[in-house]
């Protein structure tokens, strides 16, 4: 997927989409899957990841809503990632099967593992 196409899909006003677009425009690398996978499969996997992140004191931006939107979408979705050039933020994308629309996105700061305070 070309960068300008992905930028046009990130036109939403939710916080995760706004950050994803700004990150992409600032020189981030990105990747979008060529094939779609069942929405239910992704929703289950990322619901469990959300639970694990929360157990470790992390609250990913928009992931709970993304899981809900994927379930409601009910059709296969393509995944993608946007990684900030400075490696401090990553965004997870869920696109319609044909790549024509953004279903949901979520993001979180890197590194994902928090070190316990000394």
The pLDDT score that the predictor gives to residue 116 is 57
DSSP letter (8 states) at residue 102: E
Ordered per-residue pLDDT tens for the chain, 118 residues? 999 999 999 988 899 999 999 999 999 999 999 999 999 888 889 999 999 989 888 889 999 999 999 999 999 999 999 999 999 999 999 999 999 999 999 999 887 655 555 5
| Closest residue by Cα to residue 32 from 92, 104, 118, 113 | 92
The pLDDT score that the predictor gives to residue 114 is 56
The pLDDT score that the predictor gives to residue 44 is 87
User: Taking the model in full, what pTM does it have?
Assistant: 0.88
Burial 42-53 (b: 16+ CB within 10 A, else e): bbeebbebbeeb
């Amino acid at each position: 997927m070309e960068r300008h196409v992905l930028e046009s899909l990130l036109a939403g006003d939710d916080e995760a989409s706004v950050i994803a677009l700004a990150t992409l425009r600032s020189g981030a690398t990105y990747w979008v899957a060529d094939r779609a996978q069942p929405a239910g499969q992704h929703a289950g996997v990322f619901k469990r990841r959300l639970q694990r992140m929360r157990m470790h004191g992390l609250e990913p931006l928009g992931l709970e809503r993304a899981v809900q939107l994927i379930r409601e979408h009910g059709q296969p979705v393509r995944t993608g990632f946007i990684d900030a050039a400075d490696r401090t933020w990553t965004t997870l994308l869920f696109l319609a099967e044909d790549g024509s629309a953004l279903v949901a996105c979520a993001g979180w700061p890197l590194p994902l593992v928090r070190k316990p305070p000394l």
